[in-house]
Protein backbone atom coordinates (compact mmCIF):
# COMPACT_ATOMS: atom_id res chain seq x y z
CA UNK A 1 0.00 0.00 0.00
CA UNK A 2 2.81 2.43 0.86
CA UNK A 3 5.11 3.56 -1.97
CA UNK A 4 8.35 2.88 -0.07
CA UNK A 5 10.50 3.61 -3.11
CA UNK A 6 9.12 7.14 -3.34
CA UNK A 7 9.58 7.60 0.41
CA UNK A 8 13.19 6.40 0.31
CA UNK A 9 14.09 8.47 -2.76
CA UNK A 10 12.69 11.62 -1.20
CA UNK A 11 14.37 10.89 2.14
CA UNK A 12 17.78 10.89 0.43
CA UNK A 13 17.29 14.28 -1.17
CA UNK A 14 15.08 16.31 1.09
CA UNK A 15 17.51 17.05 3.91
CA UNK A 16 18.70 20.31 2.38
CA UNK A 17 15.37 21.49 1.01
CA UNK A 18 14.25 24.88 2.30
CA UNK A 19 10.64 25.23 3.37
CA UNK A 20 10.40 29.05 3.28
CA UNK A 21 8.30 29.57 6.42
CA UNK A 22 8.80 26.33 8.36
CA UNK A 23 10.25 28.24 11.32
CA UNK A 24 7.03 30.22 11.57
CA UNK A 25 5.01 26.99 11.58
CA UNK A 26 7.10 25.43 14.35
CA UNK A 27 6.89 28.63 16.37
CA UNK A 28 3.09 28.45 16.14
CA UNK A 29 3.12 24.78 17.17
CA UNK A 30 6.33 23.63 18.88
CA UNK A 31 4.98 20.05 18.98
CA UNK A 32 5.75 19.91 15.25
CA UNK A 33 9.49 20.33 15.85
CA UNK A 34 10.28 16.57 15.91
CA UNK A 35 8.49 16.16 12.57
CA UNK A 36 10.26 18.84 10.55
CA UNK A 37 12.07 16.26 8.42
CA UNK A 38 8.78 14.71 7.33
CA UNK A 39 7.33 18.15 6.56
CA UNK A 40 10.46 18.90 4.51
CA UNK A 41 10.13 15.57 2.67
CA UNK A 42 6.53 16.29 1.70
CA UNK A 43 7.46 19.79 0.59
CA UNK A 44 10.41 18.44 -1.40
CA UNK A 45 8.14 16.07 -3.37
CA UNK A 46 5.63 18.88 -3.98
CA UNK A 47 8.37 21.16 -5.33
CA UNK A 48 9.87 18.34 -7.40
CA UNK A 49 6.51 17.72 -9.04
CA UNK A 50 6.12 21.41 -9.83
CA UNK A 51 9.59 21.50 -11.41
CA UNK A 52 8.76 18.45 -13.52
CA UNK A 53 5.58 20.08 -14.75
CA UNK A 54 7.52 23.24 -15.55
CA UNK A 55 10.21 21.45 -17.56
CA UNK A 56 8.12 18.66 -19.13
CA UNK A 57 4.63 20.19 -19.47
CA UNK A 58 5.36 23.91 -20.08
CA UNK A 59 4.22 24.84 -16.60
CA UNK A 60 1.10 24.67 -14.49
CA UNK A 61 -0.92 27.05 -16.68
CA UNK A 62 -0.60 24.85 -19.77
CA UNK A 63 -0.87 21.62 -17.80
CA UNK A 64 -4.18 22.57 -16.19
CA UNK A 65 -5.66 23.76 -19.50
CA UNK A 66 -5.92 20.15 -20.68
CA UNK A 67 -9.72 20.22 -20.59
CA UNK A 68 -9.53 22.53 -23.61
CA UNK A 69 -7.92 19.88 -25.84
CA UNK A 70 -8.55 16.49 -24.16
CA UNK A 71 -11.93 14.93 -24.86
CA UNK A 72 -14.14 15.76 -27.85
CA UNK A 73 -13.82 19.23 -29.39
CA UNK A 74 -14.86 21.00 -32.57
CA UNK A 75 -12.41 23.04 -34.62
CA UNK A 76 -14.29 26.30 -35.10
CA UNK A 77 -12.32 27.11 -38.29
CA UNK A 78 -12.73 23.79 -40.11
CA UNK A 79 -15.71 22.19 -38.29
CA UNK A 80 -13.62 19.04 -37.92
CA UNK A 81 -14.17 17.18 -34.66
CA UNK A 82 -10.99 16.21 -32.81
CA UNK A 83 -10.87 13.58 -30.07
CA UNK A 84 -8.01 13.05 -27.62
CA UNK A 85 -8.14 10.44 -24.84
CA UNK A 86 -5.74 8.69 -22.48
CA UNK A 87 -6.31 4.93 -22.37
CA UNK A 88 -2.97 3.13 -22.03
CA UNK A 89 -4.50 -0.34 -21.62
CA UNK A 90 -6.66 -0.24 -24.76
CA UNK A 91 -5.72 -2.00 -28.01
CA UNK A 92 -7.89 0.22 -30.20
CA UNK A 93 -10.31 3.14 -29.91
CA UNK A 94 -13.19 4.44 -32.01
CA UNK A 95 -16.14 6.83 -31.65
CA UNK A 96 -19.74 6.11 -32.54
CA UNK A 97 -23.20 7.50 -31.86
CA UNK A 98 -26.36 8.91 -33.32
CA UNK A 99 -24.31 10.69 -35.97
CA UNK A 100 -23.21 7.43 -37.68
CA UNK A 101 -26.07 5.14 -36.61
CA UNK A 102 -23.77 3.58 -34.01
CA UNK A 103 -21.46 1.90 -36.53
CA UNK A 104 -18.60 0.30 -34.66
CA UNK A 105 -15.29 0.93 -36.44
CA UNK A 106 -15.92 3.77 -38.86
CA UNK A 107 -13.51 6.19 -37.14
CA UNK A 108 -10.33 4.48 -35.81
CA UNK A 109 -7.94 6.45 -33.60
CA UNK A 110 -4.14 6.42 -33.49
CA UNK A 111 -2.07 5.86 -30.33
CA UNK A 112 1.21 7.44 -29.21
CA UNK A 113 3.86 6.04 -26.88
CA UNK A 114 2.16 7.55 -23.81
CA UNK A 115 -1.15 5.77 -24.34
CA UNK A 116 -2.88 8.87 -25.73
CA UNK A 117 -5.32 8.21 -28.57
CA UNK A 118 -6.30 10.77 -31.22
CA UNK A 119 -9.03 10.74 -33.81
CA UNK A 120 -10.56 13.17 -36.29
CA UNK A 121 -14.02 13.26 -37.85
CA UNK A 122 -14.10 15.44 -40.98
CA UNK A 123 -16.91 17.86 -41.61
CA UNK A 124 -19.84 16.88 -43.81
CA UNK A 125 -19.92 17.76 -47.52
CA UNK A 126 -21.94 20.88 -46.73
CA UNK A 127 -19.22 22.03 -44.35
CA UNK A 128 -21.19 21.43 -41.14
CA UNK A 129 -19.90 19.34 -38.21
CA UNK A 130 -20.52 15.60 -38.51
CA UNK A 131 -21.86 15.46 -34.92
CA UNK A 132 -24.68 17.81 -34.03
CA UNK A 133 -25.26 19.48 -30.69
CA UNK A 134 -27.26 17.17 -28.41
CA UNK A 135 -26.51 13.90 -30.21
CA UNK A 136 -25.66 10.83 -28.11
CA UNK A 137 -22.08 9.60 -28.47
CA UNK A 138 -19.79 7.01 -26.89
CA UNK A 139 -16.22 5.90 -27.25
CA UNK A 140 -15.72 2.30 -28.37
CA UNK A 141 -12.61 0.64 -26.97
CA UNK A 142 -11.01 -2.69 -27.72
CA UNK A 143 -9.59 -4.13 -24.51
CA UNK A 144 -6.41 -6.19 -24.23
CA UNK A 145 -8.39 -9.41 -24.61
CA UNK A 146 -10.14 -8.22 -27.78
CA UNK A 147 -13.52 -7.28 -26.28
CA UNK A 148 -15.28 -4.20 -27.68
CA UNK A 149 -16.74 -2.03 -24.91
CA UNK A 150 -18.61 1.28 -24.85
CA UNK A 151 -17.28 4.04 -22.63
CA UNK A 152 -18.22 7.65 -21.91
CA UNK A 153 -15.49 10.20 -22.60
CA UNK A 154 -13.96 11.10 -19.18
CA UNK A 155 -13.92 14.78 -20.22
CA UNK A 156 -17.62 14.88 -21.20
CA UNK A 157 -19.29 18.18 -20.32
CA UNK A 158 -22.82 16.83 -20.57
CA UNK A 159 -24.24 13.35 -20.11
CA UNK A 160 -27.84 12.20 -19.95
CA UNK A 161 -29.82 9.16 -18.93
CA UNK A 162 -31.92 7.77 -21.79
CA UNK A 163 -35.61 7.46 -21.00
CA UNK A 164 -35.63 3.66 -20.79
CA UNK A 165 -32.18 3.07 -19.29
CA UNK A 166 -30.32 3.52 -16.03
CA UNK A 167 -26.99 3.89 -17.86
CA UNK A 168 -25.99 7.39 -18.95
CA UNK A 169 -24.61 8.26 -22.38
CA UNK A 170 -22.36 11.07 -23.50
CA UNK A 171 -23.89 14.05 -25.28
CA UNK A 172 -22.04 16.17 -27.81
CA UNK A 173 -22.32 19.58 -26.19
CA UNK A 174 -21.83 22.35 -28.75
CA UNK A 175 -24.68 24.86 -28.34
CA UNK A 176 -24.99 27.70 -30.86
CA UNK A 177 -23.39 30.95 -29.85
CA UNK A 178 -26.68 32.60 -28.93
CA UNK A 179 -27.41 29.82 -26.41
CA UNK A 180 -24.08 30.06 -24.57
CA UNK A 181 -24.51 31.95 -21.29
CA UNK A 182 -22.51 35.17 -20.99
CA UNK A 183 -21.59 36.16 -17.44
CA UNK A 184 -22.73 39.66 -16.48
CA UNK A 185 -21.54 40.13 -12.91
CA UNK A 186 -18.11 40.12 -11.31
CA UNK A 187 -17.12 37.53 -8.74
CA UNK A 188 -16.84 38.65 -5.11
CA UNK A 189 -13.44 39.07 -3.52
CA UNK A 190 -12.25 36.47 -1.02
CA UNK A 191 -14.10 37.13 2.23
CA UNK A 192 -13.73 36.25 5.87
CA UNK A 193 -16.57 35.28 8.20
CA UNK A 194 -18.37 33.00 5.80
CA UNK A 195 -22.04 32.38 6.46
CA UNK A 196 -22.64 29.33 4.29
CA UNK A 197 -25.97 28.07 2.98
CA UNK A 198 -25.32 24.42 2.05
CA UNK A 199 -27.75 23.34 -0.65
CA UNK A 200 -28.74 20.47 -2.92
CA UNK A 201 -30.40 21.79 -6.08
CA UNK A 202 -32.51 18.68 -6.60
CA UNK A 203 -34.31 18.88 -3.26
CA UNK A 204 -34.69 22.67 -3.24
CA UNK A 205 -38.39 22.62 -3.90
CA UNK A 206 -41.51 21.95 -1.86
CA UNK A 207 -42.88 19.88 -4.73
CA UNK A 208 -42.37 16.13 -5.10
CA UNK A 209 -39.90 16.48 -7.95
CA UNK A 210 -36.24 16.76 -8.78
CA UNK A 211 -35.83 20.51 -8.84
CA UNK A 212 -33.81 22.57 -11.31
CA UNK A 213 -31.05 25.14 -11.62
CA UNK A 214 -33.70 27.59 -12.83
CA UNK A 215 -35.91 27.06 -9.79
CA UNK A 216 -32.91 27.58 -7.52
CA UNK A 217 -31.93 30.76 -9.37
CA UNK A 218 -35.39 32.27 -9.31
CA UNK A 219 -36.81 31.10 -5.97
CA UNK A 220 -34.01 30.00 -3.63
CA UNK A 221 -31.34 32.69 -4.10
CA UNK A 222 -33.69 35.48 -2.90
CA UNK A 223 -34.43 33.39 0.21
CA UNK A 224 -30.69 32.95 0.84
CA UNK A 225 -30.11 36.69 0.54
CA UNK A 226 -33.05 37.49 2.82
CA UNK A 227 -31.75 35.08 5.48
CA UNK A 228 -28.40 36.92 5.63
CA UNK A 229 -26.06 34.28 4.21
CA UNK A 230 -23.08 35.44 2.15
CA UNK A 231 -22.00 32.09 0.66
CA UNK A 232 -23.73 29.19 -1.11
CA UNK A 233 -22.19 25.71 -1.04
CA UNK A 234 -23.67 23.54 -3.79
CA UNK A 235 -23.53 19.77 -3.43
CA UNK A 236 -24.34 17.06 -6.01
CA UNK A 237 -23.37 19.16 -9.05
CA UNK A 238 -20.74 16.84 -10.55
CA UNK A 239 -22.67 14.21 -12.48
CA UNK A 240 -23.60 11.04 -10.62
CA UNK A 241 -25.80 8.36 -12.08
CA UNK A 242 -27.02 7.20 -8.64
CA UNK A 243 -29.16 10.08 -7.37
CA UNK A 244 -29.45 8.69 -3.83
CA UNK A 245 -25.68 9.08 -3.36
CA UNK A 246 -26.34 12.85 -2.94
CA UNK A 247 -23.58 13.47 -5.46
CA UNK A 248 -20.81 11.53 -3.75
CA UNK A 249 -20.54 8.71 -6.32
CA UNK A 250 -19.31 10.86 -9.19
CA UNK A 251 -19.34 9.25 -12.61
CA UNK A 252 -18.53 12.25 -14.85
CA UNK A 253 -16.21 14.82 -13.34
CA UNK A 254 -16.55 17.57 -15.95
CA UNK A 255 -20.31 17.29 -16.41
CA UNK A 256 -22.77 19.42 -14.47
CA UNK A 257 -25.65 17.13 -13.53
CA UNK A 258 -28.17 17.08 -16.38
CA UNK A 259 -31.06 16.08 -14.09
CA UNK A 260 -31.28 19.73 -12.96
CA UNK A 261 -30.86 21.37 -16.38
CA UNK A 262 -28.10 22.45 -18.73
CA UNK A 263 -24.59 23.78 -17.99
CA UNK A 264 -25.75 27.19 -19.22
CA UNK A 265 -28.53 27.21 -16.61
CA UNK A 266 -26.00 26.40 -13.89
CA UNK A 267 -23.86 29.31 -15.09
CA UNK A 268 -26.90 31.58 -14.91
CA UNK A 269 -27.54 30.41 -11.32
CA UNK A 270 -23.97 31.23 -10.29
CA UNK A 271 -24.09 34.60 -12.04
CA UNK A 272 -27.36 35.43 -10.28
CA UNK A 273 -25.70 34.65 -6.95
CA UNK A 274 -22.80 36.94 -7.87
CA UNK A 275 -25.32 39.67 -8.72
CA UNK A 276 -26.32 39.62 -5.04
CA UNK A 277 -22.70 39.54 -3.84
CA UNK A 278 -22.82 35.86 -2.83
CA UNK A 279 -19.79 33.59 -2.92
CA UNK A 280 -20.53 30.20 -4.54
CA UNK A 281 -18.55 27.12 -3.50
CA UNK A 282 -18.66 23.74 -5.25
CA UNK A 283 -18.65 20.48 -3.29
CA UNK A 284 -15.66 18.92 -5.08
CA UNK A 285 -15.38 15.12 -4.97
CA UNK A 286 -11.77 14.15 -5.74
CA UNK A 287 -11.46 11.75 -2.82
CA UNK A 288 -12.91 8.81 -4.75
CA UNK A 289 -14.91 7.86 -7.83
CA UNK A 290 -17.93 5.71 -8.60
CA UNK A 291 -17.26 2.06 -9.42
CA UNK A 292 -19.59 2.30 -12.41
CA UNK A 293 -17.98 0.94 -15.57
CA UNK A 294 -20.45 1.75 -18.36
CA UNK A 295 -20.92 5.41 -17.42
CA UNK A 296 -17.99 6.11 -15.06
CA UNK A 297 -14.18 6.05 -15.00
CA UNK A 298 -13.81 2.54 -13.59
CA UNK A 299 -12.19 0.09 -16.05
CA UNK A 300 -12.11 2.88 -18.64
CA UNK A 301 -9.34 1.29 -20.72
CA UNK A 302 -10.30 -2.28 -19.79
CA UNK A 303 -7.91 -2.44 -16.83
CA UNK A 304 -8.49 -1.94 -13.11
CA UNK A 305 -5.75 0.71 -13.12
CA UNK A 306 -5.71 3.65 -15.56
CA UNK A 307 -7.06 6.40 -13.27
CA UNK A 308 -6.84 4.32 -10.09
CA UNK A 309 -4.44 2.19 -8.09
CA UNK A 310 -4.50 -1.33 -9.49
CA UNK A 311 -4.29 -2.89 -6.03
CA UNK A 312 -6.28 -2.91 -2.78
CA UNK A 313 -5.11 0.70 -2.41
CA UNK A 314 -7.43 1.55 -5.28
CA UNK A 315 -10.63 0.73 -3.36
CA UNK A 316 -12.55 2.49 -0.63
CA UNK A 317 -14.52 -0.40 0.80
CA UNK A 318 -16.86 1.60 3.06
CA UNK A 319 -18.03 3.73 0.14
CA UNK A 320 -17.74 0.91 -2.44
CA UNK A 321 -15.77 3.22 -4.71
CA UNK A 322 -12.41 3.62 -6.45
CA UNK A 323 -9.40 5.67 -5.27
CA UNK A 324 -7.25 7.75 -7.61
CA UNK A 325 -3.56 7.18 -8.23
CA UNK A 326 -2.95 10.87 -7.57
CA UNK A 327 0.66 11.33 -8.67
CA UNK A 328 0.38 9.53 -12.00
CA UNK A 329 0.96 12.25 -14.59
CA UNK A 330 -2.27 11.82 -16.53
CA UNK A 331 -4.35 11.53 -13.36
CA UNK A 332 -2.82 14.78 -12.13
CA UNK A 333 -3.59 16.35 -15.49
CA UNK A 334 -7.20 15.18 -15.30
CA UNK A 335 -7.91 16.25 -11.71
CA UNK A 336 -6.02 19.54 -11.72
CA UNK A 337 -7.66 20.46 -15.02
CA UNK A 338 -10.98 19.58 -13.42
CA UNK A 339 -10.30 22.12 -10.67
CA UNK A 340 -9.49 24.79 -13.23
CA UNK A 341 -12.53 23.89 -15.34
CA UNK A 342 -15.06 24.56 -12.57
CA UNK A 343 -13.36 27.80 -11.52
CA UNK A 344 -12.77 29.10 -15.04
CA UNK A 345 -15.81 27.96 -17.01
CA UNK A 346 -18.50 28.23 -14.32
CA UNK A 347 -16.99 30.98 -12.14
CA UNK A 348 -17.23 29.04 -8.90
CA UNK A 349 -15.47 30.87 -6.06
CA UNK A 350 -13.87 27.87 -4.41
CA UNK A 351 -14.40 24.35 -3.18
CA UNK A 352 -15.40 22.25 -0.24
CA UNK A 353 -13.12 19.22 -0.76
CA UNK A 354 -15.05 16.07 0.12
CA UNK A 355 -13.58 13.11 2.01
CA UNK A 356 -10.16 14.57 2.82
CA UNK A 357 -9.70 12.24 5.82
CA UNK A 358 -10.25 9.27 3.53
CA UNK A 359 -7.59 10.62 1.16
CA UNK A 360 -4.97 11.25 3.83
CA UNK A 361 -4.67 7.77 5.36
CA UNK A 362 -4.04 4.35 3.87
CA UNK A 363 -6.77 3.06 6.16
CA UNK A 364 -9.08 5.85 4.91
CA UNK A 365 -9.56 6.56 8.62
CA UNK A 366 -11.69 3.42 9.01
CA UNK A 367 -11.54 2.02 12.53
CA UNK A 368 -9.04 4.72 13.52
CA UNK A 369 -9.97 6.80 16.54
CA UNK A 370 -7.48 9.64 16.28
CA UNK A 371 -6.06 10.53 19.67
CA UNK A 372 -4.18 13.65 18.60
CA UNK A 373 -0.75 12.03 18.93
CA UNK A 374 1.40 13.53 16.19
CA UNK A 375 2.91 10.18 15.22
CA UNK A 376 -0.50 9.31 13.80
CA UNK A 377 -0.12 12.12 11.27
CA UNK A 378 3.54 11.90 10.32
CA UNK A 379 4.14 8.16 10.15
CA UNK A 380 3.77 5.65 7.33
CA UNK A 381 0.00 5.41 7.93
CA UNK A 382 -0.42 8.74 6.12
CA UNK A 383 -0.89 8.61 2.35
CA UNK A 384 1.44 11.45 1.45
CA UNK A 385 0.71 11.05 -2.27
CA UNK A 386 -2.71 12.45 -1.42
CA UNK A 387 -1.20 15.22 0.71
CA UNK A 388 1.09 16.19 -2.16
CA UNK A 389 -1.88 16.20 -4.53
CA UNK A 390 -3.73 18.58 -2.21
CA UNK A 391 -0.65 20.82 -2.19
CA UNK A 392 -0.60 20.80 -6.00
CA UNK A 393 -4.32 21.55 -6.09
CA UNK A 394 -3.85 24.56 -3.84
CA UNK A 395 -0.88 25.77 -5.84
CA UNK A 396 -3.12 25.76 -8.93
CA UNK A 397 -5.98 27.50 -7.11
CA UNK A 398 -3.84 30.12 -5.39
CA UNK A 399 -1.71 30.85 -8.46
CA UNK A 400 -4.46 31.07 -11.07
CA UNK A 401 -7.52 31.96 -8.93
CA UNK A 402 -6.15 33.67 -5.81
CA UNK A 403 -9.56 34.91 -4.58
CA UNK A 404 -10.88 31.34 -4.25
CA UNK A 405 -11.77 29.72 -0.92
CA UNK A 406 -11.14 26.09 0.05
CA UNK A 407 -12.65 24.04 2.87
CA UNK A 408 -11.56 20.54 3.90
CA UNK A 409 -14.02 17.92 5.08
CA UNK A 410 -11.48 16.46 7.50
CA UNK A 411 -12.06 14.84 10.87
CA UNK A 412 -8.66 13.55 12.00
CA UNK A 413 -7.16 16.94 12.92
CA UNK A 414 -4.17 16.56 10.57
CA UNK A 415 -1.73 19.37 11.54
CA UNK A 416 -0.69 21.80 8.78
CA UNK A 417 -3.77 21.02 6.66
CA UNK A 418 -4.96 24.64 6.94
CA UNK A 419 -1.55 26.26 6.88
CA UNK A 420 0.09 27.93 3.85
CA UNK A 421 2.09 25.97 1.28
CA UNK A 422 5.16 28.02 2.16
CA UNK A 423 5.05 26.51 5.66
CA UNK A 424 4.80 22.98 4.28
CA UNK A 425 1.04 22.92 4.77
CA UNK A 426 -1.69 21.73 2.43
CA UNK A 427 -3.04 25.25 1.88
CA UNK A 428 -6.71 24.96 2.92
CA UNK A 429 -8.45 28.06 4.27
CA UNK A 430 -10.81 26.13 6.58
CA UNK A 431 -11.67 22.68 7.83
CA UNK A 432 -15.13 21.57 8.88
CA UNK A 433 -15.58 21.31 12.66
CA UNK A 434 -17.04 17.84 12.29
CA UNK A 435 -17.08 16.95 15.99
CA UNK A 436 -19.69 19.62 16.80
CA UNK A 437 -22.79 18.15 15.08
CA UNK A 438 -21.90 14.72 16.42
CA UNK A 439 -21.88 16.22 19.93
CA UNK A 440 -25.36 17.67 19.54
CA UNK A 441 -26.83 14.44 18.18
CA UNK A 442 -25.26 12.48 21.04
CA UNK A 443 -26.64 14.90 23.63
CA UNK A 444 -30.13 14.91 22.13
CA UNK A 445 -30.23 11.15 21.74
CA UNK A 446 -28.50 9.89 24.87
CA UNK A 447 -28.38 12.54 27.61
CA UNK A 448 -31.19 14.11 29.63
CA UNK A 449 -31.39 17.91 29.49
CA UNK A 450 -30.49 18.30 33.16
CA UNK A 451 -27.33 16.23 32.64
CA UNK A 452 -25.88 18.38 29.86
CA UNK A 453 -22.45 19.59 30.93
CA UNK A 454 -21.61 23.09 29.77
CA UNK A 455 -17.90 22.39 30.21
CA UNK A 456 -18.10 19.44 27.84
CA UNK A 457 -20.03 21.49 25.30
CA UNK A 458 -17.64 24.43 25.51
CA UNK A 459 -14.58 22.17 25.22
CA UNK A 460 -15.88 20.50 22.06
CA UNK A 461 -16.87 23.81 20.49
CA UNK A 462 -13.47 25.40 21.12
CA UNK A 463 -11.21 22.33 20.72
CA UNK A 464 -9.55 23.19 17.42
CA UNK A 465 -6.02 23.73 16.19
CA UNK A 466 -4.58 27.13 16.96
CA UNK A 467 -4.20 29.24 13.81
CA UNK A 468 -6.18 26.84 11.59
CA UNK A 469 -9.66 28.14 10.85
CA UNK A 470 -12.82 26.06 11.24
CA UNK A 471 -16.31 26.12 9.76
CA UNK A 472 -18.76 25.56 12.62
CA UNK A 473 -22.15 23.94 12.10
CA UNK A 474 -24.81 22.29 14.19
CA UNK A 475 -25.91 20.01 11.37
CA UNK A 476 -25.18 19.54 7.68
CA UNK A 477 -26.48 17.14 5.06
CA UNK A 478 -24.58 14.38 6.88
CA UNK A 479 -26.87 14.66 9.88
CA UNK A 480 -30.05 15.78 8.13
CA UNK A 481 -30.05 13.26 5.27
CA UNK A 482 -27.44 10.53 5.65
CA UNK A 483 -28.28 7.94 8.27
CA UNK A 484 -29.77 10.27 10.88
CA UNK A 485 -32.44 12.92 11.27
CA UNK A 486 -32.47 16.65 11.73
CA UNK A 487 -32.07 18.34 15.10
CA UNK A 488 -35.67 19.53 14.72
CA UNK A 489 -36.84 15.93 14.39
CA UNK A 490 -34.86 14.94 17.49
CA UNK A 491 -36.40 17.82 19.43
CA UNK A 492 -40.03 17.71 18.28
CA UNK A 493 -40.41 14.00 17.44
CA UNK A 494 -43.87 13.28 15.98
CA UNK A 495 -45.14 16.71 17.06
CA UNK A 496 -43.18 18.23 14.17
CA UNK A 497 -46.09 17.05 12.01
CA UNK A 498 -48.97 17.98 14.32
CA UNK A 499 -48.07 20.95 16.55
CA UNK A 500 -45.84 23.29 14.52
CA UNK A 501 -48.67 25.40 13.09
CA UNK A 502 -49.62 28.75 14.61
CA UNK A 503 -53.11 27.29 14.91
CA UNK A 504 -51.94 24.35 17.06
CA UNK A 505 -51.59 24.46 20.82
CA UNK A 506 -48.06 25.14 22.11
CA UNK A 507 -47.00 22.00 24.00
CA UNK A 508 -44.06 21.57 26.42
CA UNK A 509 -42.31 19.49 23.74
CA UNK A 510 -42.62 22.31 21.23
CA UNK A 511 -41.60 24.98 23.77
CA UNK A 512 -38.51 22.99 24.76
CA UNK A 513 -37.68 22.23 21.13
CA UNK A 514 -37.87 25.83 19.99
CA UNK A 515 -35.71 27.02 22.87
CA UNK A 516 -33.02 24.34 22.42
CA UNK A 517 -33.02 24.71 18.64
CA UNK A 518 -32.16 28.41 18.99
CA UNK A 519 -29.69 27.83 21.81
CA UNK A 520 -27.79 25.10 19.95
CA UNK A 521 -27.34 27.35 16.94
CA UNK A 522 -26.42 30.41 18.96
CA UNK A 523 -23.72 28.75 21.04
CA UNK A 524 -22.33 26.93 17.99
CA UNK A 525 -22.21 30.15 16.01
CA UNK A 526 -20.47 32.04 18.83
CA UNK A 527 -17.87 29.46 19.89
CA UNK A 528 -17.53 26.89 17.11
CA UNK A 529 -15.25 28.48 14.54
CA UNK A 530 -14.36 31.29 12.19
CA UNK A 531 -17.18 30.55 9.71
CA UNK A 532 -20.73 29.18 9.92
CA UNK A 533 -22.60 26.59 7.83
CA UNK A 534 -26.24 25.59 7.78
CA UNK A 535 -27.96 23.01 5.61
CA UNK A 536 -30.91 24.33 3.60
CA UNK A 537 -34.26 24.47 5.32
CA UNK A 538 -32.76 24.22 8.82
CA UNK A 539 -33.31 27.76 10.00
Give the number of other Cβ atoms within 10 Å of residue 222's Cβ: 12
Average pLDDT for residues 397-404, to the nearest whole number?
A: 98
Give the per-residue pLDDT at 367. Answer: 75
Parallel/antiparallel/unpaired status of strands 195-200 and 148-151: unpaired
Give the per-residue pLDDT at 500. Answer: 87
Query: Which one of the listed residues 85, 271, 272, 409 is annotated catalytic?
Result: 409
Q: Does the active-site annotation cover 104?
A: no
Give the per-residue pLDDT at 485. Answer: 85
Q: How confident is the model at residue 139 (pLDDT cuts 50, 70, 90)?
A: very high
Is 266 in a helix, a strand, or coil?
helix
Give the per-residue pLDDT at 538. Answer: 55
Q: Does the active-site annotation cover 409?
A: yes
Q: Do residues 187 and 220 lie in contact, with contact meaning Cβ atoms separated by under 8 Å? A: no
Q: Superfamily assignment of 66-179 in CATH?
A: Immunoglobulins (2.60.40.10)
Give the per-residue pLDDT at 324. Answer: 98
Q: What is the DSSP letter of 30?
A: G
Give the per-residue pLDDT at 365. Answer: 83
Write the DSSP assignment of 153-168 as a string of letters.
Answer: -TT-S-EE--TT-SS-
Percent of the chain with pLDDT over 70: 97
Percent of the chain with pLDDT over 90: 88
Write down the mean pLDDT value for the chain.
94
Please give the angle made by the CA atoms of 497, 247 and 211, to the nearest 5 degrees.
55
Give the per-residue pLDDT at 2. Answer: 46
Question: Is the pLDDT reported for residue 482 higher than 80?
Answer: no
Average pLDDT for residues 317-334, to the nearest whole number?
A: 96
Question: Is the pLDDT reported for residue 215 higher than 80?
Answer: yes
pLDDT: which is higher, 53 or 367: 53
pLDDT digits (tens, 9 = 90+) for 431-479: 999 999 999 999 999 999 999 999 999 999 999 998 999 999 998 887 7
Question: Is the pLDDT reported for residue 150 higher than 50?
Answer: yes
**CATH 2.60.40.10 boundaries in the chain:** 66-179
pTM: 0.94
Phi first, then psi: give them for residue 456, nearest 5 degrees: -65, -45
Give the number of other Cβ atoms within 10 Å of residue 205's Cβ: 15
Average pLDDT for residues 397-409, to the nearest whole number?
A: 98
Give the per-residue pLDDT at 480. Answer: 73
Question: Is the pLDDT reported for residue 377 higher than 90?
Answer: yes
Query: Which one of the listed residues 330, 349, 354, 383 is annotated catalytic?
Result: 354
Q: Do residues 524 and 472 lie in contact, with contact meaning Cβ atoms separated by under 8 Å? A: yes
Amino acid sequence: MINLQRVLEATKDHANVVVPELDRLVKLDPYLAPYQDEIRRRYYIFQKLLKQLESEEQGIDVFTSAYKHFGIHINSQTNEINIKEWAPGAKAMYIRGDFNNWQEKQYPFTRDQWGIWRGTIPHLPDGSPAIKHGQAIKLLLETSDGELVDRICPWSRYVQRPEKSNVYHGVFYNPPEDQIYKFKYSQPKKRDRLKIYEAHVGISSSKEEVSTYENFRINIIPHIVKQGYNTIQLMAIMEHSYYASFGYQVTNFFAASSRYGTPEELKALIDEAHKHGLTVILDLVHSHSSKNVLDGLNMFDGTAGCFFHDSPRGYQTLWDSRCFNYLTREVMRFLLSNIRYWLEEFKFDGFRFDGVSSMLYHSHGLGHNFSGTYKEYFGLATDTDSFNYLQLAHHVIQTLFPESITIAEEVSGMPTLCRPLAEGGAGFDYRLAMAIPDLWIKFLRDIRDEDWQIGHITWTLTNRRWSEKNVAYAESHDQALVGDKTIAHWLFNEQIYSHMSVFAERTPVVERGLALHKMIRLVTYILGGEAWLNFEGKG
